[in-house]
């Protein structure tokens, strides 16, 4: 006959497992500064990239999501303090920055990069350029340069949108990322924005 564990034995085992998990969490919390929601998004553990150059997300089970979230917050905080994190592109700059550039910059740097793009496009000439250096992290900088002009002509022969190619180059801790973007301005519009 098989012996069935008593409810108190099972309860003790569950309590011991919870206590061990709490001990590990408190040690990790002390090492990584707590498990609060980080203000800067963490890096993906996957090395796969989406078509826009940002890390791809993966589907996870609920259990692995909870445990991964707790561990990832501490690891992500350490990675971002080392300057190797990945960020969410801000919707505020979606008409100015490509995701390949935005996902490597924190929100303040995205703003600086967008302002540099706007400044470069004001010149409207091939070769117009604007540079920036991060106000929030060391060893992060970038440049936006107009590298080509290719205005559109409407089907009736009238002048259509004015279009330019802008090359963004950012350097994050010695790693250079370059992205070309096509930006257009409709007749009468004040500024260029990313073309679809």
The lowest-confidence range among 2-6, 15-19, 94-98 is: 2-6
Note the pLDDT of residue 160: 81
Over 50: is that where the pLDDT of 94 sits? Answer: yes
Over 80: is that where the pLDDT of 33 sits? Answer: no
pLDDT band at 87 (very low <50, low <70, confident <90, very high): confident
The lowest-confidence range among 19-33, 124-138, 155-169, 178-192 is: 19-33
Q: What is the DSSP string of 125-172?
A: STT-EEEEE-SSSTTEEEEEEEEEE---B-TTSSB--EEEEEEEEEEE
Over 50: is that where the pLDDT of 148 sits? Answer: yes
Task: Pick the most confident of 6-15, 23-32, 157-166.
Answer: 157-166
pLDDT band at 37 (very low <50, low <70, confident <90, very high): very low
Cα–Cα dist 117/109, whole Å: 12
Q: How much is the pTM? A: 0.57
Strand ranges, E, within 32-128: none
Phi–psi pair at 131, nearest 5 degrees: -115, 160
Task: Kindly state the percentage of the chain with pLDDT values over 70.
Answer: 55
pLDDT band at 88 (very low <50, low <70, confident <90, very high): confident
Rg of the chain over all Cα atoms, to the nearest angstrom: 24
| Closest to 103 in 3D by CA, of 39, 44, 60 | 44
């Amino acid at each position: 006959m098989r012996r069935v564990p008593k409810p108190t034995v099972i309860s003790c085992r569950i309590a011991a497992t919870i206590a061990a998990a709490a001990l590990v969490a408190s040690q990790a919390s002390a090492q990584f500064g707590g498990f609060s929601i980080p203000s800067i998004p963490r890096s993906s553990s996957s090395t796969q990239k989406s078509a826009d150059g940002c890390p791809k997300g993966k589907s996870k089970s609920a259990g692995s999501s909870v445990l991964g979230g707790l561990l990832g917050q501490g690891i992500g905080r350490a990675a971002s303090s080392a300057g190797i994190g990945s960020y969410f592109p801000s919707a505020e700059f979606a008409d100015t920055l490509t995701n390949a550039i935005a996902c490597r910059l924190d929100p303040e740097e995205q703003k600086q990069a967008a302002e540099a793009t706007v400044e470069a496009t004001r010149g409207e000439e091939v070769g117009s350029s604007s540079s920036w250096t991060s106000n929030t992290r060391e060893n992060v900088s970038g440049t936006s340069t107009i590298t080509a002009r290719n205005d559109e002509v409407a089907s009736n022969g009238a002048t259509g949108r004015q279009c330019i190619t802008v090359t963004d180059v950012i350097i994050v801790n010695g790693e250079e990322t370059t992205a070309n973007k096509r930006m257009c301005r409709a007749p009468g519009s004040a500024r260029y924005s990313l073309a679809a």
